[in-house]
Amino acid sequence: MTMTTKKKMPGDVPVNPISDLPLIGGLFGLLDEVADRLGFALWFRIFLGFVYAAAFGYLIAWLLVTYVVPWAGNALRRPVRKAAEGLRFVLLVPDWAISRAFRRSGRVPPQMLYDYGGVVMRFVDRIQEVTDHGLPKLAGSRAAPRWLLMAFVAVWFLVWGASFPR
C-alpha cells in the first residue's frame, strides 16, 4: 500500500474549514490529514477540529485574561495620562490665543472663554481619574471565572461561523 500526498492546488477549497484558521490551521491540517488516512469520517474530523479550535481559543483567552490584560492595565496608565495632557494642551491653545488677543486690545475676555477652559480642564481631569482608578483594576481580570472564558470562545465561534460564505 503506497501513500500519496495530495498537492493543494490554488483553486482548491479546503474540506475542513478549520484548516484555514491562522496560527492553528497548519497544525490542524496535519492532524486532519492523519485522521483522514486513519479512515475517520468527515463529520468526526470536523467535530475534532472544532474541539481543537475551542481548546486553542480557551488557551488564548486564558493567556489574555491572565497575563496581557493586567500588564496592559499597568503599562497603559502613564501613556494615557500623557496623551490626556497633550489633549488638554491642544484644546486650550485656542482659549489662550483668543484671550491673549482680547487682553492685548485692552479688553476682558468673554465669560464663555473662561467656561470653555473650565470644561476642558474638568474633562481631562476626569479622563485622568478614570485612567488612575480604572486601568489598575484590570489586574482583577486574573480572577475571571472559567464560564466567562468559555462564553468568549462561544462568541468567537458564532462570529467566526457567521463569516463563512453562504
Cell of 50: 472544532
119-136 pLDDT, tens digit per residue, is: 999 999 999 999 888 888
Q: Tell the residue number behind the cell numbers 500526498, with chain if given.
A: 5
Q: Which of 24-28, 106-110, 134-138 has the lowest mean pLDDT?
A: 24-28
* Residue 164: φ, ψ to 5°: -70, 145
DSSP letters, the chain, are ----PPPPPTTPPPSSGGGGSTTTHHHHHHHHHHHHHTT--HHHHHHHHHHHHHHHHHHHHHHIIIIIHHHHHHHTHHHHHHHHHHHHHHHHHHHHHHHHHHHHTT-PPPHHHHHHHHHHHHHHHHHHHHHHHHGGGGGGGGG--HHHHHHHHHHHHHHHHHTS--
When pLDDT is cut at 50, 70 and 90, the band that residue 159 belongs to is confident
Angle between helices 111-134 and 77-104 (to 10 degrees): 170
pLDDT for res 103: 93
pLDDT for res 21: 67
